[in-house]
Chain A
Amino acid sequence: MSHVSVNLHLLVKPEVRGIRGNGPGSPRPPSASVRNAEPAREAKKTLEIYSVELSGTKDIAQTDKADGKEKYRGLKNRFEPRKNHQKEELKKELDLDDHKLSIKELEEKYSTNIITGLSSTQAAALLAQNGPNALTPPKETPEIIKFLKQMVGGFSILLWVGAILCWIAYGIQYSMNKSSSLDNVYLGCVLALVVILTGVFAYYQEAKSTNIMATFNKMIPQQALVIRDSEKKTVPAEQLVVGDIVEIKGGDRIPADIRLLSVQGCKVDNSSLTGESEPQARSSEFTHDNALETKNIGFYSTTCLEGTASGMVINTGDRTVIGQIASLASGVGDEKTPIAIEIEHFVHIVGGVAISIGILFFIIAVSLKYHVLDSIIFLIGIIVANVPEGLLATVTVTLSLTAKRMAKKNCLVKNLEAVETLGSTSIICSDKTGTLTQNRMTVAHLWFDNQIFIADTSEDHSNQVFDQSSGTWASLSKIITLCNRAEFRPGQENVPIMKRVVVGDASETALLKFSEVILGDVMEIRKRNHKVAEIPFNSTNKFQLSIHKTDDPNDKRFLMVMKGAPERILEKCSTIMVNGQEQPLDESTAEAFHTAYMELGGLGERVLGFCHLYLPADEFPESYSFDVDAMNFPTSNLCFVGLLSMIDPPRSTVPDAVTKCRSAGIKVIMVTGDHPITAKAIAKSVGIISANSETVEDIAKRLHIAVEQVNKREAKAAVVTGTELKDMSPEQLDELLTNYSEIVFARTSPQQKLIIVEGCQRQNAVVAVTGDGVNDSPALKKADIGIAMGIAGSDAAKNAADMVLLDDNFASIVTGVEEGRLIFDNLKKTIAYTLTKNIAELCPFLIYIIVGLPLPIGTITILFIDLGTDIIPSIALAYEKAESDIMNRKPRHKKKDRLVNQQLAIYSYLHIGLMQAVGAFVVYLTVYAQEGFTPGILTNLRVAWENGNVNDLEDSYGQQWTWYQRKYLEWTGYTAFFVGIMVQQIADLLIRKTRRNSIFRQGLFRNKVIWLGIASQIIIALILSYGLGSVTALNFTMLRPQYWFVAVPYAILIWVYDEVRKLFIRLYPGSWWDKNMYY
């Protein structure tokens, strides 16, 4: 693990590139923090810093060099100090030095030749040595293991133990009496069957969602064009070896990590690595110390979008960057889901109860002079009777129902148990790009006429309300339209503008779409204003220029339009257009420009300046031939028209979703690879940093004091960069996480994402991580619930995640939280409902042992309750609506708010359960008494009752009963007891609808499924008694109709009792009663 960690910290700030990439871009203006002091000078100063992104990455390399290789070393090292660490680290970093080497050195290093390539023999040897160029697939659990896992988890174990105990009991019985009843065998089989069927069901459910995801293999390129033995050959990509010279072209997936040797207009999409889908230019020059930042490396599994390139393979298979991330992800253990922990806890409780009661009664039975073997059978019987046979199936079905509901709302759950996890989530670590934002550049603000205008950045752009009447806008719009090389791919006339595919980079695309929305057919406008010359953007000029004939037939002048880095544009201007009129550019207007520029920059936006010039017709007649190399036209004294800023805007649903998370007590932390300013701006606009909270830096600036002097307690928000994070000890990180409610992590590496997740988990938080890139996959895996983006997400991310948002919409998480919390509450109700009757089913057996009554209810009958009448009602509880606004309460505490707590167990077992048992006993005793056996005579009747040779057993009236007549009466007793429980379970079901509110407030009829459940209960009972009453094997008899109503008063009593309980809980919150009776 350690060596991987070392390596991965190299994946630095991938997002930086995404946003600020290669567009005709703009320097990021000074950060807001320096805004107040001497704008012009400050601007210049900061411009130097921010211009790095424009001029390639050379400058950044310089700034980065300062802290050198240390810079992105993960915190991880601190956690696992190792002696040989340093060495390994060194080794790894050497491996990634290839981008710094010259071609000669490379040739030497890999003993290859860039003209002739490797020889076949060399290649074969290397292949044998290093293995094929393919990712070792994540240790795929064989299907059969997955299947078996479903059969042994949590609950299932309980059932298996029950089944085995049943068979053991039968074995004992059989050894004593060859003709003993087969009930125990049946019971064991039924238990086993329940586990198997439920396992099959759960397996099927998960397989279904896994299949949707099974696309990982698509990442591997099939063929590669390679030069070997001086010949170009097409070989399977798997056979590539280090030193091979490969050629790639637009549309190819890059077959290995390659050092680019020659490049023609090549752009790559590194989204599978970084999650950022903005195309990035490649070149053969070494531009950055960091292998991930430098332009002369192409990474395995990324896509070449356009152009061609040739390169030398420097890493293959698992040694590629992506391979290392993949192995890091697979090295992170899967966390147990909270619900799995809860179920385990529940199993402990049930197991503890079962074994304690069992042993206690074993002792009692022995002291009552029962045969030891009989006592053992009692012991087993009691343990098995405690097993809630139906619960496994119920829970599984309930979870998958919720999973289905969530899938409808675009949350695809891969692991059934993860359904609940979101509900317990207390911290969401969200990636920025693509999750919180739309992942596309969009025009956000305009500045002209000394005024900032806000553009609509919503997903459809439909509502552009800024003032378009000014003459300046007319000019500006013309520049935007004309000075732009981006074009719509043809044949998309019917596609909404915002969804059309554009050929061109992100900024130009944004401008194209912006103008298309406002002005209509841009291509037509361009056609009318014929382009006669053009200088495309390059990083030296930092501007883009084109010269057009105008569409005004009366105006023979050429129009020169220009856009670029605002300060560069301003330098070239001598006038500025205000309200459509050209005015000289004086100090005050320049200052206004800077203020606007910085304000927009402070919003984390990319700013472009626009200017134009009508070339005088006399100097530039219609026939004038423009030479872009000689620049035979003026590029100064232009007319400045306006600024336009762009940002990857937040999705419109996100702010609302963040607010909801907030009110639900969930901390939303942004973890991004992007620049702190952009990150903070987005965080502010989506509410991750709320409007009125400040960071330490903000306070310092407001009070004009040094950052160190600020009382840290005053700041609610914090923006932490990867560099700062690197210097933090785990304790400091803990402190940070506890003290600040609003945190943004910027410029983080995948390794650091992992550290942040671990830090959150140390706070006992249940952590959800959202992400889309391969770089997110380790954190996704580490999180309690990893949430991948379905559309933008890379396959690796989807693989590592537990849940996939099919619409990439952060707001879907809120739905997930809501559903998760609801299912937790409802599972509680389901379990309470199920546990209650356990006592009613167990008491008869205990009484039978102690008092010697004829057995009140038989095993098979119990099964018909657990797996028959009770199943649908307990599932129906899953449809129950929330009692109060579950989104207004804090997430549950992992260790305090258990699914099954003592209150629940006590209330179910000792209160309602006992009442139920009493009610059912009354039905049973009524039946016996009316048939002739009054309760008095039943006592200690067991032995004679069960003796098949006693065929003249006297009842209370002196009547004599044959054995079979008694048996039949016993079955009638079973049926009566069954009906008694069933009737009271109806009441139990109704009271479980709520835990605190009155049922009437919840509404008796809002959950229709409950009534379906009740109907099913009654119908099943009627069928069992009247339909199958003649099938002796089932031990049911036709019960006289009046017995169905004997337990009704008890059902009402249960209802009343529970209403009183809830009333007191509501009346005296926090009281003894509340603490002890609220589950």
Chain B
Amino acid sequence: DDQDEVNQNYLADEEEEAEEEARGMVVPDLEEEEEEEEGQEAEEEEIEEEKEEEEGQGPPTGNAWWQKLQTVSEYLWDPEKRMSLARTGQSWSLILVIYFFFYASLAAVITLCMYTLFLTISPYMPTFTERVKPPGVMIRPFAHSLNFNFNVSEPDTWQHYVISLNGFLQGYNDSLQEEMNVDCPPGQYFIQDGNEDEDKKACQFKRSFLKNCSGLEDPTFGYSTGQPCILLKMNRIVGFRPELGDPVKVSCKVQRGDENDIRSINYYPESASFDLRYYPYYGKLTHVNYTSPLVAMHFTDVVKNQAVPVQCQLKGKGIINDVINDRFVGRVIFTLNIET
């Protein structure tokens, strides 16, 4: 039995050591866990053994608990043999060294692999883009939900939309755009050849393009009059180009229910499309100032006091807007519930 115990303890230490090393090392958490387990195991086994002993010897010989405690404490630190967890200092250091080297080399292997991985992928251009295509659509203002519920006469209910839009459009301020970006010719791709790593210029998209929805004339973006502006943007995809001569258009309609719930929508820019000059996108590393083009939808006449589900879709070649599982690819659905 004694031998057994020693054996087991010995084993147990190993594990613990392993854990300890690990602690100081790459995967600290994992190892700690295991330490614990193993400690437990060892204890469990001791208990088992003791039980067995008892069975073997018939009636237990009093203060068994005290003995047990002693065994455990001796196991933790045996002053006679100078062993902790049944392992001498030498043994402990050997284990620590070996595991240190093992995990160090494992870490080195990971590092090497990651290094190789980064060698094989370009920082400018993703290796594959098929998962992110076709482009998704998102709207602003966005505050946790796609339900626009507000009461015209209660500014508190729509104030956060206004703040959100204002914040969003800061980057589109005309002054900023004029300073940072170039005015490029509309109706054609803004192709910038040259080296991958050269910085790319971006086309201006000025806030003033959004006219009534720019927040310049009406700082409440129409919310105070029950004619909310909602901005729609298409997800950026590196290298994505809409069909030449056929810019992606946006059109909104009532998704379910009476078509006449929305009697008129104004789009800004009036073409309701994303101009080709904003494409292609060269990725955030070189195309630093790229400004996503927007289409603003001004719901100037919507039925009040009832929820109106609206679906805005992108239309154009290479655009898919009817994926069943993904309700944000090529389209976006939201509800307007304007109370007066």
Contacts and interface: CB of A to CB of B under 8 A. Distances in A.
B129 A932 contact: yes
A970 to B, nearest CB: 10
B132 A906 contact: no
Nearest to B329: A962
Contact of A903 (B11, B114, B325): B11
B15 A843 contact: no
Given A896-B7, A932-B129, A1072-B94, A906 B109 contact: no
A906 B236 contact: no
A914 B103 CA distance: 9
Interface of A: 348-349, 352-357, 359-361, 364, 762, 843, 846, 850, 895-896, 901-903, 905-906, 909-911, 914-915, 918, 921-922, 925-926, 929-932, 934-935, 949, 951-952, 954-965, 968-969, 972, 1032, 1040, 1053, 1072, 1075-1076
A951 B33 contact: no
Contacts of A1072: 91, 94
Nearest to A962: B136
20 contacts: A352-B38, A356-B36, A906-B11, A910-B18, A918-B106, A925-B117, A930-B127, A931-B126, A949-B146, A951-B136, A952-B136, A956-B126, A958-B284, A959-B132, A959-B235, A959-B237, A960-B136, A962-B326, A964-B326, A965-B329
B285 to A, nearest CB: 7
Given A909-B34, A955-B126, 18 more contacts: A352-B37, A353-B34, A354-B37, A357-B36, A846-B30, A902-B41, A910-B99, A914-B30, A949-B144, A951-B137, A957-B238, A958-B236, A958-B290, A959-B237, A960-B132, A961-B136, A962-B326, A1032-B325
B4 A962 contact: no
Contacts of B284: 954, 956-958
Contact of A930 (B126, B144, B329, B332): B126
Contacts of B323: 964
B14 A902 contact: yes
B283 interface: yes
Given A352-B41, A906-B14, A922-B110, A931 B8 contact: no
Nearest to A341: B48
Interface residues of B, number: 74
Interface string B85-104: 00000010011000100100
Given A926-B117, A951-B138, A962-B328, A349 B128 contact: no
Interface string B119-145: 001001111110110001110001011
A921 B45 CA distance: 35
Given A348-B41, A925-B114, A914 B106 contact: yes
Report whether over half of chain A's contact residues are helix, strand or loop; otherwise say mixed. helix
B287 interface: yes
B182 interface: no
Contacts of A915: 106
Nearest to A958: B284
B147 to A, nearest CB: 11
Given A905-B15, A906-B18, A930-B128, A964 B121 contact: no
Contact of A357 (B34, B129, B146): B34
B299 interface: no
B281 interface: yes
Contacts of B128: 930-931, 1040
B287 A931 contact: no
Contacts of A353: 33-34, 37, 41
B40 interface: yes
B276 interface: no
B110 to A, nearest CB: 6
Interface in B27-76: 27, 29-34, 36-38, 40-41, 44-45, 49, 56
A349 B41 contact: yes
B113 interface: yes
A906 B113 contact: no
A325 to B, nearest CB: 27
A962 B237 CA distance: 11
Interface in B146-187: 146
B12 interface: yes
A925 B114 CA distance: 9
Contacts of B138: 951-952, 960
Contact of A932 (B37, B40, B113, B132): B132
Contacts of B34: 353, 356-357, 909-910
